[in-house]
Structure 1
Amino acid sequence: MKQNYLLALLSAFILWLGWPPIPYSSLLLLVGFVPLLVAVENIIRGDYSKKGTKIFWTSFLTGFVWNTASIYWVFNSLNAVLPSWVSLLISLIPFGLAPLLMATVFRLYYELRKKQTIIISFLGLISLWIGYEYLHQTWDLAFPWMTLGNGFANFHQIIQWYSFTGVYGGTLWIWVVNILAFLFYWQYKQKVQAYSQKLILSLGIGLIVFPILISVVQYTTYEEPINPSEVVVVQPNIDPYQKFGSISPSEQLENLISLSKSVAKPNTEFFVWPETAISERGGINEEDFRQYPSYERIVNFLGDFRNGNVLSGIESYAIYQDKRTLTARPFGAGYVDSFNGSTLIDGSSILQYYHKSKLVPGVEQLPFGNFLAFMTPLFEHFGGTTGGYGKDTEPKVLYAQSGIGAAPTICYESIWGDYVAEYVQKGAQFIAVMTNDGWWKNTSGKDQHMAYAKIRAIENRRWVARSANTGISGFINQKGDIVQHTDWWVPAALTQEINLNDETTFYTKNGDIIVYFGLFGSLLSFLLLIISKYKK
C-alpha cells in the first residue's frame, strides 16, 4: 500500500501545481488523476482485503492534500479572530468535506467495477464526480471553489468554449483525458491491449488539441459589440478587522468619494464600491436610508456627474411587523433582518437594493440550522448575526436611470456560474463584483477569486468590473483578459471604458446542461449497483 499512497500524493501534487494562481500550468490537470487511477487499479487487482475501504482512503488522501494546499488561506481568515486550535478545527470542515465526497465517488466507482465493464465504470465515475460537484454548489455546505473546471481560470485563452459549456465542460474535459491517459499507460505497463493503443492515443491527442484550437480561434476572432460606458472601480483598502476602529464610517465614505473623484470623468456612469463599503455601526435601515447623512453626501457627490450612479456594497437591515422570513429575529415589537447587500444610488429619490443570496456557510448563514443551532455563537466572531443574514431568493439586476443593467454580484456569489448567468438572463449588461478579500490576507485566495471572475466574463461575454476592498480590483473584458488591475493592499481607483452587451451566449440561455447528463449518469450508476445487489 505504501506505493499506492505515494501515487495518491503524486496526484495531489500535480493537481495543486495545475491549480490557480500558478499561471499557465492548468494543462497538468489533464493528467493529474492518472497516478491516483493507477493506485486504485493496483488495489482492485491486488491481493488486498477490504479493497473498498483502501480505495476510499487512498482517494481521500489525494483530495485532502490537494484541497488543503489550494485553499490553505481559509485557516488564515479564521486564525485572525479565533485561537489557532479552534481555527484549525473549523478549517478541517472545508479542508476535509470535499475530499470525503471525492472519496465516496471513488468508492462507488469500485463497486461498479466489481459488476460492470471498465468503460461503464468510468462513465459512472465521471457522472458521479459531476454529481458531487453539483451537490457541493447547491446544499447548505456549498463551497464550489474547487470545481475542476475552475482550474483553467489562469489559462483562459484555451477555455473560450465555456461560453457554451460553463465550468462543467472543463470538469468533463479533465476527466475524459485523464481516463484515456490512464488506459494508455496501464496497457503499456501491463503489456496488454484490451483496447487499441493507437485509438486511445489518437483520441487523447485529439481531445487535448481540438478544444484548444477551437478556443484559440474563438479568442482571436471574437469582437465585442461596441456599446461604451465609463466605469470606475474603487479600492479603499480598509482593514476589515479594524473597520470601526481607527477610521469612522464617515471618514470611510469620504475616502471612497475622494478616490472616485481622482479618476472620474464627466461621462462616468458607474462608480463601483466594494462589499459593505456603505455602513454604519449597527447597520443602515433601508427604509430610512434617505435620511442618513451618508446618503445625502453620496447624492451631492453624484451632482457633478450627469449620468452617474453609485453601485456599492451596503450593510443594512429591514424591520417587519411580523416574522415574514426564516432569518428575522425579534426586535422590539417587531422583527429585524440583517443583510449583506448592495444598493444603487442615482441621485433621484429611487433606491434599489439586492441582498446577497449565496451566503458563506458558518459565517453568514448557519447550515442545516435546525440541527446545528448550537453553533450560532460562532457567527458573532465573524461579524455575522446569530440567526444568519437575510437574503434574496434570486438574482436582481439593478438599473441606472439610463436603462443600463448591472449584475450586483457580492463576493462569494461570483463563484456560481449558473447564478451569475441568471443576472444576465434578466438583463445585466455587465457584471459588477463587489468583494472584501482582505479577510484572507496576502494569500492565493484573493488571486484565485480574481481569476474565477474571468470565467464569468467568458461564460456570459460580459465585462467584469471588480471592486475589492483591499484588492485585487480591476476590469476584465468579454474574452477574460484582465485589462487593468490594482496592486494588493493599497488604496486605489481605476477607470475604464467598457463595452456593454445585450447578446446572450448559449451557456447564458441554457445553463449547466452537462450537469443534467451527469445526474442522469449518476442515477443509472446507482440503479446498476442496486440491481447488482438485488441479483446477488
Structure 2
Amino acid sequence: MLWLAWPPVPYTGLLLLVAFVPLLVAVENIIRGNYHKKGTKIFQVSFLTGLVWNTASIYWVFNAMNAFLPAVVSLGIALIPFALAPLLMALVFRLYYQLRKRRHIAVSFVGLVSLWMGYEYLHQSWGLAFPWMNLGNGLSNVHQLVQWYSITGVYGGTLWIWLTNIFAFLYYWQYKEKVAAFSQKKLIIGVLAIVLLPIGISLFQYFTYEEHINPSEVVVVQPNIDPYQKFGSITPEQQLDKLFELSASVAKPNTEFFLWPETAISDRNGINEEDFREYPAYEKSVSFLEKYHNGNILSGIESYLIYPDQKTLTARPFGNKYLDSFNAAVLIDGSSKVQFYHKSKLVPGVEQMPFGQALSFMKPLFEHFGGTTGGYGFDKEPSVFYSQSGIGAAPVICYESIWGEYVAEYTKKGAQFIAIVTNDGWWKNTSGKDQHLAYAKLRAIENRRWVARSANTGISGFINQRGDIVQHTQWWVPAALTQEINLNEELTIYTKYGDLIAYLGLLGCLVSVVLIAIPASTRKKLS
C-alpha cells in the first residue's frame, strides 16, 4: 500500500492515509501476543516493511549505479539508501514499544508521531541526508488536496497521514477485538473529520486561488545529452551550440530568462569563475542575448576557484595553491556582471564524502557522476539571482529541490520564481525522474511561486503557483518550451516560518525519550 501510494503512480496518494494500519495491527499483535523479545520482533517487522517500501519506490538508485558498476557492487551501495531509512523507521517503532510499556496508549501515539518526525528531520539534516521518502512527499501526486502546504509544508502532510492512520487503526482494532476503550462513534467521526476537513480546505484553496498578474516570459531547454557519454560523443562547444539553437527555436523578443540544465556550461578542465568572462562560452552567451531586451541565461555550470591557501575544508592541493570545485549555477546578462551560486545540498557519496573516511569506499562513484574524489565545495546558504530588470530567481540545483525549508529561504530573500536546473538522466527512464518532477509541485505550493524546470534529459517544464504542471517535455528528446509565468512577491506562512511542525515533533521526541527513561519508582510518584 505504501508503494502503490507513492509517486509516480497516479491518483493513489490517499492510500497513505491508511497504509500504516496493517503495520500498526502487526505491532499490536506482537505487543499483546505471547512472544519472547517483543521489542526485537517489532524492530524486525517494521524494518522489513520499510525495506520493501523503500526498495520498491527508489529501485532506480540501483539502476543508476548498475550502468557503470558490477551488479554486486551496485547492490551493496544501493543498500545504503534502501536500508538506512528503514533502520531509522524500525528504531522509531522500537521506541514506541518502550513507550507503550510505560505510558497510556494515547501518549504513546503522540510519541510515535513525534519520533517519526524526528527521524525524517534527522534524515534530511545529517551527513547521509536523503529526505526523498519523507511521508509528506508522497502526497505530491494528489497536490490538489494539499494546498495547505503553503502553511505547513510537507511535515503537515506527515502529520496528517499519521493522524488518519492512528484513528483508522483504533477503529479497526476495537471493531475486530470487540472492545470499546474509545467510543467507536467518536472514532469514526474523528476519522472522517481528519480526512475530509483538510481535503475540503485544500479544494477551496485550489479552486479559489488566483495568481497576481505579473508576467515574465521564460524559456526552458532540454538538450538531451547522455550524461554517461558527456565529453565522449559531444564537445562542450557542440553542447553550447545545441543550447543556443534550442533556445532560439522558441524564444520571443520579450523573453527574459533562458533556463539551461545542470552543468550545461562546461569545459574539459572546468571553468575558473575568476576568469569566466574570458571563456568563449561567456562571449557567445552575451552575443546571443543581444537579440533579447532584458534577456538572461540562468544555467548550471561546472566551475572552480583557486585559493592561495586552504580557504575551505573541501579545497585540495593544486600545485602550491588550493582548488575548490563546484556544481554551480550562473546568471549571465547583457552587462559585465556575472552571478554564481554553489550547490549547497550535495548528494552523499557522490558530491560529498559523509562522515570523513567512514564511507571512503564510495569515492569511485564521484568521477562517474561528474564529481570529484575530494568532494565539491558549497555555499552555506541560498542566494538569489537578480536580473538587470530586478527580477529575483531562485537557482535551485537538482537535489536541493527536495528541501522545502531551504527552497523557502530563496523566496524569503526575494526570489519571485523558482528555477530548477537538474540532470535526471543518471537514473535512465525510471520512476526517479517522475518523482523528482512531482516533488517540485510541492515547492510551488509551499511558496506560491511558479517553477521553471530545465532537465538535461527530462523532464523539463513549468509548474504554476497551485502546483499544476502546465507544460512538460517528454523523456529522452531534445526540446525547448516557452511560458509566460506570473512573478510573485508575497510570502506564504510556510515561507515565513518554515518547518515549525517538525520542530514541535523534535520537542515531542525529547519528551518521549524522557518518558521512556524515567525510572519506575519515579513514575509511580508521578501517577
Q: TM-score, normalised by structure 1?
A: 0.97
Which residue number in structure 2 is paired with residue 496 of structure 1?
483
Structure 1 position 306 matched with structure 2 position 293:
yes
Mapped partners of 2:343, 2:57: distance in 1: 26
How many angstroms does 1:369 deviate by?
A: 1.4
Which residue number in structure 2 is paired with residue 7 of structure 1?
none
Which residue number in structure 2 is paired with residue 8 of structure 1?
none
Structure 1 position 42 matched with structure 2 position 29:
yes
Give the AA of the match of 2:127.
D
Give the AA of the match of 2:94.
R
For 1:202-217, what aligned pairs fall within 5 Å after superposition?
202-217=189-204
Give the AA of the match of 2:288.
F
Which residue number in structure 2 is paired with residue 334 of structure 1?
321
Gaps of 5+ in 2: none
Name the SS of the counterpart of 1:145 in structure 2. Answer: helix
CA deviations on 1:31-76 (whole Å, 9 max, x unpaired) are 0000000000000000000000000000001100000000000001
CA deviations on 1:157-203 (whole Å, 9 max, x unpaired) are 00000000000000000000000000000000000000000000001
Which residue number in structure 1 is paired with residue 430 of structure 2?
443
Mapped partners of 2:370, 2:2: distance in 1: 34
* Alignment equivalent of 1:99, drawn from 65, 83, 86: 86
Contact 2:294/2:334 (<8 A) preserved? no
Contact 2:349/2:359 (<8 A) preserved? no
* Alignment equivalent of 1:80, drawn from 61, 67, 71: 67
Which residue number in structure 2 is paired with residue 10 of structure 1?
none
* Alignment equivalent of 1:507, drawn from 494, 497, 503: 494
Structure 1 position 115 matched with structure 2 position 130:
no
Structure 1 position 165 matched with structure 2 position 152:
yes
Name the SS of the counterpart of 2:339 in structure 1. Answer: strand
Contact 1:115/1:532 (<8 A) preserved? no
Which residue number in structure 1 is paired with residue 379 of structure 2?
392
CA deviations on 1:269-319 (whole Å, 9 max, x unpaired) are 000000000000011011111111111111110011111000000000000
Mapped partners of 1:202, 1:267: distance in 2: 55
Give the AA of the match of 2:454.
S
Contact 1:338/1:389 (<8 A) preserved? yes
CA deviations on 1:471-502 (whole Å, 9 max, x unpaired) are 11000000000000000000000000000000
> RMSD of aligned C-alpha atoms?
1.0
Which residue number in structure 2 is paired with residue 18 of structure 1?
5
CA deviations on 1:86-124 (whole Å, 9 max, x unpaired) are 000000000000000000000000000001010000000
* Alignment equivalent of 1:459, drawn from 438, 441, 446: 446
Which residue number in structure 2 is paired with residue 348 of structure 1?
335
For 1:138-287, what aligned pairs fall within 5 Å after superposition?
138-287=125-274
Give the AA of the match of 1:119.
A
Mapped partners of 2:266, 2:181: distance in 1: 65
Mapped partners of 1:354, 1:267: distance in 2: 26
Which residue number in structure 2 is paired with residue 292 of structure 1?
279
How many angstroms does 1:509 deviate by?
A: 0.2
Which residue number in structure 1 is paired with residue 515 of structure 2?
528
Residues 396 and 227 (structure 1 numbering): CA distance in 2 closer, same or farther, change over 3 Å?
A: same
Name the SS of the counterpart of 2:395 in structure 1. Answer: strand
Give the AA of the match of 1:194.
A
Which residue number in structure 2 is paired with residue 380 of structure 1?
367
Residues 378 and 439 (structure 1 numbering): CA distance in 2 closer, same or farther, change over 3 Å?
A: closer
Mapped partners of 1:249, 1:532: distance in 2: 66
Name the SS of the counterpart of 2:258 in structure 1. Answer: strand
Mapped partners of 2:365, 2:210: distance in 1: 49
* Alignment equivalent of 1:431, drawn from 418, 433, 457: 418
How many angstroms does 1:376 deviate by?
A: 3.1
Contact 1:17/1:25 (<8 A) preserved? yes
CA deviations on 1:359-381 (whole Å, 9 max, x unpaired) are 00000000011544454344233
Which residue number in structure 2 is paired with residue 5 of structure 1?
none
Q: After superposing the two structures, state which structure 1 stretch, 366-375 or 398-407, moved more.
A: 366-375
Name the SS of the counterpart of 2:518 in structure 1. Answer: helix
How many angstroms does 1:383 deviate by?
A: 2.5
How many angstroms does 1:516 deviate by?
A: 1.4
Mapped partners of 2:520, 2:211: distance in 1: 55
Mapped partners of 1:388, 1:115: distance in 2: 46
Identical-pair percentage? 74
Mapped partners of 1:343, 1:281: distance in 2: 18
CA deviations on 1:338-372 (whole Å, 9 max, x unpaired) are 00000000021111000000000000000011544
* Alignment equivalent of 1:317, drawn from 286, 301, 304: 304
Count of aligned positions: 523
* Alignment equivalent of 2:53, drawn from 62, 66, 72: 66
Mapped partners of 1:351, 1:76: distance in 2: 37
Mapped partners of 2:452, 2:430: distance in 1: 22
Mapped partners of 1:120, 1:306: distance in 2: 62
4+ residue runs of structure 1 moved beyond 2 angstroms? 370-383, 532-536
Mapped partners of 2:263, 2:379: distance in 1: 16
